[in-house]
Amino acid sequence: MADERELRIRPGRIRTNRDQAVRPFIAQALAAAKKAGGSISRTGQISPGNRSRFGRGRIANIQANRLLTGRSRVTVIKTRVVRHSARGVPLTAHLSYLQREGVTRDGEKARMFSPETDDTSVKVFAERCDGDRHHFRFIVSPEDAPEMSDLRSFARDLMRHMEKDLGTKLDWVAADHWNTDNPHIHV
């Protein structure tokens, strides 16, 4: 039997390996970013590495910076991606909501518009989108919307710039709503 006060000394180096040591949070975050394909500079700044510039808003950014003045229009844009699923609410329900009574300037039922026409069939658009995995919803609210004579031409111009920036043709419909303090466009 061993004495309770017996002490056994085992000389040698300390045996802690890297896996057992607790790493600081920043080291873990930098390692995860590097593992995901990003590059990390010596100052700790994370950059995306060699990624495509497609769809990153390059053209809009160049135009915005070049034309930015004190008279520039401030616009709020809310964005939502909605996936189509068997359990989800169909696109037609959202389009019906956009066309409800009392949202136009004169309190009438809203009419959907598209790049070509001022009165677009919601049924035809919903059928075209039937096989899509998802759709995007934008609410665009320019600061000076009450003073604008035509929100529809503003929306068409905005979507034309978006198509140019993304390098693809977009299939879209929109409705202008005037029933709030800030008139806005649903795309």
User: What end-to-end distance do the CA atoms of the chain give, in Å?
Assistant: 84
How is residue 95 written in tokens? 């389009």
pLDDT score of 27: 75
Residue 60, domain member (yes or no): no
**Residue 146 and residue 184: Cα distance in Å, rounded?**
9
Number of domain units in the chain: 1
Please report, as a single letter, which amino acid is at residue 65.
Answer: N
Residue 106, domain member (yes or no): yes
Residue 26, domain member (yes or no): no
pLDDT score of 138: 93
Residue 80, domain member (yes or no): yes
pLDDT score of 15: 64
Residue 140, domain member (yes or no): yes
Tell me the torsion sign for CA atoms 116, 120, 124, 126.
positive
Q: Tokens 């059928």 label which residue?
A: 127
pLDDT tens, residue order, the chain (187 aa): 566 778 777 777 766 565 556 667 777 777 777 777 677 677 766 666 666 655 667 776 776 676 666 677 788 889 998 888 777 677 888 888 888 888 888 888 888 999 988 888 888 888 888 888 888 999 999 888 888 878 889 899 999 999 988 888 999 999 999 888 888 999 9
Residue 30, domain member (yes or no): no
> What's the CA dihedral at 139, 143, 146, 152 to 10 degrees?
-40
pTM, entire model = 0.62
Domain assignment of residue 106, given as a range = 74-186
Residue 68, domain member (yes or no): no
Closest C-alpha to 104, from 185, 178, 182, 181: 178
**Residue 106 and residue 96: Cα distance in Å, rounded?**
19
Q: What share of the chain is helix, strand, coil (3-state, %, to 5)?
A: 30, 15, 55
163, with CB counted inside 10 A (0-12, 13-18, 19+), is middle
Instruction: Give the H/E segment covering residue 79.
Output: strand 75-83
Residue 86, domain member (yes or no): yes
Please report, as a single letter, which amino acid is at residue 22.
Answer: V
Please report, as a single letter, which amino acid is at residue 104.
Answer: T
Using the CB atoms, write b or e for 127-153: b if 16+ within 10 Å. Answer: eebeeeeeeeebebbbeebeeeeebbe
Phi/psi region, residue 55 (left: phi>0; alpha: psi -120 to 50; beta: rest), is left
